[in-house]
Amino acid sequence: MTGKKNAVLRMTQGAFAVAMCLGFQAPAQAYSQLYVFGDSLSDTGNIGRWTFDSSSHQLYDEILAKNIGTTLTPSSQGGLNYAEGGGVAVPGLDSEYTTQDQVKSYLNSTGGKADPDGLYIHWIGGNDLAAAALSLNPISAVEIATNSATQAASQVNDLLKAGAGTVVVPTVPNIGLTPVLMEGIIQVGLLPVQQQALEATYQYLNAQNTPDNDARTEAIHNALKASTTAGLDSELVQDLLSKGLIAAYDALKSVAGELTDTYNTTEDIALAKTGGNIARVDINGLFNEVIADPNLYGFANTAGTACPVGTSASECTSNLPGFDSSKAFLFADHFHPTPQAHALIAEYMQSVINGPLEVTALNQGSLALARNTQGLLDSRYQQLRSQDNDAGTFGMFGGYAGQSADSKINPSLGEGDLTSNSLNIGMDYQMTDRWMMGLMISGSDDKQDPTDHYSYRTRGWMATAFSGVKIAENGWINGDVHYGSLNYDDINRSIKLGPTTRTERGDTDGKQIGGRLTAGWDFPVLPVLKTGPVAQYSWDYSSIDGYSEKGNNSTSMRFGDQTSHSQIGALGWRLNAELGIVNPYAQVTYDRQFSDNTYTATGAIKSTRTHFSRTTGEQDKDWVDMTAGLNVQLTHSLSAFAAVSQTTGLDSGEQTSYNAGISARF
Q: What are phi and psi of 463, to 5 degrees?
A: -110, 135
Report how far Cα 100 is from the mean position of its chain's Cα atoms: 30
Residue 205 burial (CB count, 10 A): 23
DSSP assignment string, 514-576? EEEEEEEE-EEEETTEEEEEEEEEEEEEEEE--EE-S--STT-EEE--EEEEEEEEEEEEEEE
Q: Is 325 an active-site residue?
A: no
CB of 282 closer than 8 Å to CB of 174: no
CB of 413 closer than 8 Å to CB of 361: no
CB of 422 closer than 8 Å to CB of 443: yes
Please name the residues in contact with 499: beta carbons below 8 A apart, sequence gap of 6 or more: 296, 297, 298
Active-site residue among 40, 75, 407, 554?
Answer: 40
d(CA 354, CA 332) in angstroms, rounded, equals 29
619: nearest Cα among 598, 647, 600:
598
Q: Residues 66, 556, 344, 493: is their CA dihedral positive or negative?
A: negative
613: nearest Cα among 562, 565, 554:
562
User: End-to-end CA distance of the chain, in Å?
Assistant: 14
Torsion of CA 574, 578, 583, 587, to 10 degrees: -10
Q: Is 591 an active-site residue?
A: no
Active-site residue among 39, 61, 268, 333?
Answer: 333
Residue 258 burial (CB count, 10 A): 17
CB of 103 closer than 8 Å to CB of 37: yes
CB of 387 closer than 8 Å to CB of 2: yes
Active-site residue among 336, 342, 482, 611?
Answer: 336
CB of 75 closer than 8 Å to CB of 46: yes
Q: Is 40 an active-site residue?
A: yes
Would you please indicate which residues are annotated as catalytic (active-site) residues? 40, 333, 336
